[in-house]
Chain A
Amino acid sequence: MRQTLLESLIHGPLTEAPPTADDAALAELAKSLERNARRRLGRSLSIREVDAGSCNGCELEIHALNNAFYDLERFGLHFVASPRHADVLLVTGPVTKNMREALERTYRATPDPKWVVALGDCALDGGIFAGSYAVAGGVSDVVPVDLHIRGCPPSPTAILKGLIALLET
C-alpha cells in the first residue's frame, strides 16, 4: 500500500484534458433547454442511470466515466442512487416491454426541471433489437428525450462530450 500511495504522489494524475462539447449534441440541446432552467442548476448535474433493456455494453462505458482517466465528477456531474435526486435520466437500451412501466415510473419520480439523455444506438430507435415482440422501441417512444448520444457502445469520451454539451447549453 505504501508503495502504491507513494507512487501516486510522484506521478502526475492520469486524468485527461476534458474533451470539447459535441457540436451536434449542442445543436440538439439548444432546442430543448431553457436558459432559466440552466441558471437554476448551475454547472452541477445529478444523473440517474436507467438500463431499460441494454446488453450491458453501455453500462460498462458509463462506469468507465468514473475511473481516474475520465473523472466525471470534476465537471460537476455525478451519479445518484435515486431518480428523486436526479436532474438527468441517462437511459440505455431498447426499451423492453418488461421495462417500459419501470422507466415511466422512474421518469415520473424525477423532479422538474429534468432532462432525458438516451445513450447508445439501441436507445435511439431500438437498434438491432427493433421489431421484436418484447421491445417497445427507442427511449423517445416512452419518455421525451432531450439528447441522443450515439454509439455501440459510445466511448467514454463520446459520452463526456454529450454530457458537457448538456452543461454548456
Chain B
Amino acid sequence: MTSLREIVAQGCADGRRVETHRPWPRVVVTAEGWSAVTGELAAGRATMLGLWGESGVPGVVHMAAITEDDNEIAVLSLECPLQTFPSVGALHPAAIRLERAIHSLYGLKPVGAADTRPWLDLGFWDVESPLGPRLPAANPRPAYDFLPVEGENLHRIPVGPVHAGIIEPGHFRFTCAGETVARLEQRLGYVHKGIDSLMAGATIDRAAKLAARTSGDSTVAYGIAFARAVEAALEIEVPARAHYLRALMAELERLANHFGDIGAICNDASFAIMHAHCGILREQVLRAADACFGHRLMMDRVVPGGVAVDLRADAPAILRSALKIFRQRFPRLVELYDNTASLQDRTVSTGVVRADYAKQFGAPGYVGRASGRAFDSRKAIAYAPYDALDFTVPVLTAGDVNARVWIRVHEVEQSFALIEQILAGLPDGPIATPIDSANNGGEGLGFAEGFRGDVLAAVRLENGRVAHCHLRDPSWFQWPLLETAIEGNIVADFPLCNKSFNCSYSGHDL
C-alpha cells in the first residue's frame, strides 16, 4: 500500500514533478501510480478534489486529491498515449461522472469503468469528443439507456429539461412505487457551453470573465478560485487589502445565497412567509453589494492580481447598517422556522444523505457539513485572509433537509461576524498587483469556498495566455448524492430535497 504522500514523494525523487506548478506539487505518474492513488481514494485515506482531461499529444488526465489526515494536496497526471487510463470510478464511485465527461469531451477512455454511457454529450453536437479526436458524430445517435429498474407496479415520471419553475434545465427520471421514489436518475449537460474550449487560448482578462460566468450565483467564488490559480502560476503577491475585499464579497455572496435558499426551501414546503422575508434580506444584501462594489452580484469585481474596484468611502457604513438590520430580523425568522411544527414535519428526516456517502464523495459545502463532513476550504486550506479571521465551521450529522437548513443558518451567523471582522481589520494600501503580460507562464491551482462548497480552478498559462483551464464546481460531488437522498422519499418531497441541495447546473455542465 502506497500513500498519496509516498506517491508524490516518489514522483519528486524520480524527477517527475512539474516544477512550474504551484503552490501544490503536480507529479506525472505511471499507470501503477494512478491506480495506487485510486486505491487511496477507495480506502478513504484521501479525497478527490477534481478529475479532468486535457487535450494534446498525448492526451492527459489530471486528478487533484487531498489527504484525509493532514490536508495535503497534490495533482497527479497520467499521460494517455493510447487514449486510455485506468478507471478511477471502477473503485471509487465519486469519479464515475467525471470520467464519463472526460470520455465524452476528450475521447480518453476509462478502462474498467462499469458505466460507459456518455455524460454532458446529449447527442446534439456535430462531433464526438469535441476536445479530443473530434470524430464525426454517428447519425442517428444511439439512444441513451437509463438504468433499468425491475419490479411490479413501478411507473416512471420524466421531468425536464424545461422545469416548471424559474430554474436551470436538466432531466430527472423518477421510477416510483406508488408515491415512493424507488430510483432517481439524473441526466445533465443541457447548459453545456464548452467553457474548457473557450478558455484555451483566451487572454487572462477574458478567461477571468468566463470563470465569473461559469455559475452566476457563485461568480465571486469562481473569480477568487481562478484568480488564485493564475496568481500561483505567475507567482504574484496579492495586496492584503485585496484579500480582505475578496473575502468581503465572498461573504456577501454567501449571505445572499443562503438567505435565498432558506426562504426557497420553506417555500417548497408551502411556508410562504419565510420566503417573502428571506427574499427581502437577500435583496438588501444585493443592494448593499451594488452600493459598495457597483454590481449586485459583484461580477468581474475579483480579477487576477487583486480586485477591480475599491470600496466606496461610505461602504463600511452601508454594510454596518445592513448588518444591523440582518442581526435584528434574521434571528426572528430562525425562531419562526424552529417553532413551526408543520414546517419541521416536512424537513426533519426528509432526504437523508448518509455520512459515509458524504465522506466518500467528499461532499462539499452544506451537503457535506449536514452529514458530518467538516471540510471547509477556508479552514482546511486557510487561504488569505481567512487564516487571520476568527470563525467556526458548523457541522451536523442528521443529514436531512432540516440539517442543511440549519447549516445555512449557522453559516449566515458566521458570515455576519466575518464581515464585521473584515470591516474592522481592512488594511490600507493598493487593491491589485499589476500582471506582467510578458511573464511567460506557469501552472496554478486555486480554491475558493463558495456558498455551495469549494470551487477548484486549475490553470496553465503560456505566453501570457491561458493554455488550459479547468473549473470544478462543488455540484459534481453533490448531484449524485441527491439521487441517494431521495430514495424512499415521496415524489412530493423532491422539490424540497432538491432545493436543500441547490446544485448548480451551469457550473456542473460547464
Taking a contact as CB atoms closer than 8 A, the residue among A3, A62, A64, A133 that contacts B194 in the complex is A133
Task: Provide the residues of chain B in CB contact with A106, threshold 8 Å.
Answer: 162
Task: Provide the residues of chain A in CB contact with B197, threshold 8 Å.
Answer: 132-134
Q: Given known contacts A1-B336, A4-B277, A56-B504, is B193 in contact with A51 (CB within 8 Å)?
A: no
Are B216 and A97 in touch, CB under 8 angstroms? no
Are B215 and A55 in touch, CB under 8 angstroms? yes
Are A51 and B125 in touch, CB under 8 angstroms? no
What's the least CB distance linking B333 to chain A, in Å?
Answer: 8
Are A56 and B506 in touch, CB under 8 angstroms? yes
Q: 19 other contacts beyond A134-B194, A153-B297, with CB at 8 A cut-off?
A: A1-B340, A3-B332, A54-B168, A54-B191, A56-B506, A57-B216, A57-B217, A57-B297, A64-B282, A64-B286, A67-B276, A67-B283, A69-B283, A81-B164, A98-B190, A102-B162, A129-B194, A152-B213, A155-B296
Contacts of A1-51 to chain B: CB distance below 8 A: 1, 3-4, 14, 49-51
Are A96 and B168 in touch, CB under 8 angstroms? no
A143-167 to B contact mask, C-beta < 8 Å, 1/0: 0000000001101000000000000
Taking a contact as CB atoms closer than 8 A, the residue among B122, B219, B279 that contacts A98 in the complex is B122
What's the least CB distance linking A109 to chain B, in Å?
Answer: 9
Task: Provide the residues of chain A in CB contact with B44, threshold 8 Å.
Answer: none
Task: Provide the residues of chain B in CB contact with A97, threshold 8 Å.
Answer: 124-125
Are B280 and A96 in touch, CB under 8 angstroms? no
Q: Given known contacts A69-B280, A152-B299, is B164 in contact with A98 (CB within 8 Å)?
A: no
Instruction: Identify the 5 closest CB pairs spanning chains A and B, nearest first.
Output: A57-B216, A132-B194, A134-B194, A81-B164, A67-B279
Taking a contact as CB atoms closer than 8 A, the residue among A59, A100, A102 that contacts B168 in the complex is A59
What's the least CB distance linking B117 to chain A, in Å?
Answer: 15
Contacts of B164-196 to chain A: CB distance below 8 A: 164-169, 189-195
Docked pose: A53 CA to B122 CA in angstroms:
14
**B127 within 8 Å of A by Cβ?**
yes
22 inter-chain pairs at a CB distance below 8 angstroms, sorted by A residue, are: A1-B339, A53-B193, A54-B191, A55-B219, A56-B504, A57-B216, A57-B219, A58-B216, A60-B260, A61-B296, A67-B279, A83-B162, A97-B124, A98-B122, A98-B191, A102-B161, A129-B194, A129-B195, A129-B213, A132-B194, A152-B299, A153-B216
Task: Provide the residues of chain B in CB contact with A79, threshold 8 Å.
Answer: 166
B276's nearest neighbour on chain A, judged by CB, is A68
A54-88 to B contact mask, C-beta < 8 Å, 1/0: 11111111111011110000000001011100000
**B214 within 8 Å of A by Cβ?**
yes
What band does the interface of chain B fall in when counting residues whose beta carbon is under 8 Å from A? 35 or more
Task: Provide the residues of chain B in CB contact with A66, threshold 8 Å.
Answer: 279
B94-133 to A contact mask, C-beta < 8 Å, 1/0: 0000000000000000000000000000101111001000
A residues lining the B interface (CB < 8 Å): 1, 3-4, 14, 49-64, 66-69, 79, 81-83, 93-94, 96-102, 106, 128-129, 131-135, 152-153, 155
What's the least CB distance linking A104 to chain B, in Å?
Answer: 11
**B393 within 8 Å of A by Cβ?**
no
What's the least CB distance linking B127 to chain A, in Å?
Answer: 7
Are A134 and B166 in touch, CB under 8 angstroms? no
Are B198 and A98 in touch, CB under 8 angstroms? no
Q: Given known contacts A98-B189, A134-B192, is B213 in contact with A55 (CB within 8 Å)?
A: yes
A66's nearest neighbour on chain B, judged by CB, is B279
Task: Provide the residues of chain A in CB contact with B191, threshold 8 Å.
Answer: 51, 53-54, 93, 96, 98-99
**B451 within 8 Å of A by Cβ?**
no
Q: Given known contacts A54-B191, A64-B286, A67-B283, is B162 in contact with A134 (CB within 8 Å)?
A: no
Q: Given known contacts A57-B216, A59-B168, is B209 in contact with A96 (CB within 8 Å)?
A: no
Docked pose: A152 CA to B333 CA in angstroms:
32
Are A81 and B165 in touch, CB under 8 angstroms? yes
Docked pose: A99 CA to B165 CA in angstroms:
17
Are A102 and B190 in touch, CB under 8 angstroms? yes
Are A129 and B168 in touch, CB under 8 angstroms? no
Task: Provide the residues of chain B in CB contact with A67, threshold 8 Å.
Answer: 276, 279-280, 282-283
